[in-house]
Amino acid sequence: MDIVLIVIAFLLVIIGIAGCILPALPGPPLAYGGLLLLHLTGQVTFSTAQLISWLVLIIILQVLDYLTPMLGSKYSGGSEYGNRGCIAGTLVGMFFMPWGIIAGPFMGAVIGELLGGNDFPHALRAGIGSFIGFVFSVLLKLFLCFYFLYQLIVAL
């Protein structure tokens, strides 16, 4: 039974890494699920502090996953209109997975800035900022999932 759990744990971590890039899959939670399965085997025991701290990191990253495009828009010169557009684009983009979650915040920030009376170059800069925020979020999730893969390999 342990071998089956170890194989499933490894697959979940690999799928979690893919989920960092594919917006339709929740990457870090899947990878964490793999570590939990590994913990259930008789081969590996993670401490409670490790499991809880990893869970807290995942919760923080999942929240940041939705906030970083808005922060990117804000810090690239976007106004309140751009931030609201980015939020609206993120929400609408969720219905058009997987590309909507990538293009939604960008298009929402651009449209919001244009509706707010800004010129196109300013609106485009806000949209690019939201895209940079999205890329930053993906990189953070990838870092955490590769760390989970490292923990899995070291534990075995």
Query: Quick check: 118 pLDDT over 90?
Result: no
Q: What share of the chain is helix, strand, coil (3-state, %, to 5)?
A: 85, 0, 15
At 140, which amino acid appears? Answer: L
Query: Quick check: 31 pLDDT over 90?
Result: yes
pTM reported for the whole predicted model: 0.82
- With a CB cutoff of 8 Å and minimum separation 6, the contacts of 25 are 15, 16, 18, 19
Confidence of residue 10 (pLDDT cuts 50, 70, 90): very high
Backbone angles phi, psi at 22, to 5 degrees: -90, 110
pLDDT value, residue 149: 96
pLDDT value, residue 153: 93
Residue 41, both tokens: 């085997």
Scan for tokens 């490790």, then name that residue: 50
Dist. CA 41–CA 6, nearest whole Å: 7
Mean pLDDT, the chain, whole residue set: 89
- Residues 38-90: pLDDT tens digits? 999 988 889 999 999 999 999 999 998 888 888 888 788 888 888 888 888 88
